[in-house]
Amino acid sequence: MQQAGKFSSLLQILFLAMSFLVYQPLANASKEEAFNVGEMIMHHIKDAHEWHVAGEGKESISLYLPVILHDNGFKCFSSKHFYHGKESQVPSSDSTAYHYLEGVGPAKGYALYHEKIYKLDQIGTANGQPVYNLKFHGEHPHNAMPTDLSITKNVASLIFGSLLILIIMLSVARFYKRNGAVAPKGLAKFFEPIIVMVRDDIAKANIDQHKYHKYVPYLLTIFFFIWINNMLGLIPILPGGANLTGNITITLFLAVCTLLVTVLSGNKNYWGHIFWMPGIPVPMKIFMIPIELIGILTKPFALMIRLFANITAGHIIVLALISIIFINKNIAWAGLSVPMALFISVLEILVAFLQGFLFAMLSALFIGAAVEEAHH
Closer to another protein at the Cβ: 151 or 344? Answer: 151
Alpha helices in 146-267 (DSSP H): 153-179, 187-197, 205-206, 216-234, 248-265
* Nearest approach, Cβ of residue 19 and another protein (Å): 22
Closer to another protein at the Cβ: 12 or 154? Answer: 154
* Cα–Cα distance, 65 to 166 (Å, whole number): 23
Cα separations in angstroms, 212 against 196, 273, 355: 13, 21, 21
Contact by Cβ (8 Å): 345, 11: yes
* Nearest approach, Cβ of residue 176 and another protein (Å): 4
Q: Considering only residues 62, 247, 258, 262, which one is a binding residue for another protein as defined by CB under 8 A?
A: 247
Binding part of the chain for another protein, among 17-25, 28-36, 154-162, 285-293 by CB under 8 A, reads 154-162
Backbone angles phi, psi at 223, to 5 degrees: -60, -50
Question: Angle 2-362-249 (CA atoms, 0-180°, nearest 5)?
Answer: 85
Cα separations in angstroms, 324 against 40, 339, 343: 12, 12, 15
Binding residues for another protein restricted to 22-81, rule: CB under 8 A: 38, 42, 45-47, 68
187 touches another protein by CB under 8 A:
no
Q: Are strands 86-91 and 74-78 parallel, antiparallel or unpaired?
A: unpaired
Given phi > 0 = left and psi -120 to 50 = alpha, else beta, which region is 237? beta
Closer to another protein at the Cβ: 84 or 199? Answer: 199
Binding part of the chain for another protein, among 83-91, 149-157, 276-284, 340-348 by CB under 8 A, reads 149-157
220 touches another protein by CB under 8 A:
yes
181 touches another protein by CB under 8 A:
yes
Radius of gyration of the chain (CA): 25
Q: Considering only residues 62, 152, 230, 345, which one is a binding residue for another protein as defined by CB under 8 A?
A: 152
84 touches another protein by CB under 8 A:
no
> What sign does the CA torsion over 100, 101, 103, 107 have?
negative
Partners of 66 in beta bridges: 78
Contact by Cβ (8 Å): 77, 106: yes
Q: Considering only residues 63, 159, 293, 331, which one is a binding residue for another protein as defined by CB under 8 A?
A: 159
Binding part of the chain for another protein, among 123-131, 244-252, 275-283, 317-325 by CB under 8 A, reads 244-252
Binding part of the chain for another protein, among 28-36, 55-63, 193-201, 268-276 by CB under 8 A, reads 193-201
* Nearest approach, Cβ of residue 47 and another protein (Å): 7
The number of beta carbons lying within 10 Å of the beta carbon of residue 359 is 27
Reference 322, options 5, 16, 43; nearest CA is 16
264 touches another protein by CB under 8 A:
no
The number of beta carbons lying within 10 Å of the beta carbon of residue 138 is 8
Closer to another protein at the Cβ: 13 or 205? Answer: 205
Binding part of the chain for another protein, among 53-61, 77-85, 102-110, 302-310 by CB under 8 A, reads 302-310
218 touches another protein by CB under 8 A:
yes
Contact by Cβ (8 Å): 248, 304: yes
Closer to another protein at the Cβ: 277 or 354? Answer: 354
* Nearest approach, Cβ of residue 141 and another protein (Å): 12
Amino acid identity, position 198: V
Contacting positions for another protein (CB under 8 A): 38, 42, 45-47, 68, 114, 116, 147-152, 154-155, 158-159, 162, 165-166, 169-170, 172-173, 176-177, 180-183, 192, 195-196, 199, 201, 205, 216-218, 220-221, 225, 247-250, 252-254, 257, 302, 305-306, 308-310, 312-313, 354, 357-358, 361-362, 365
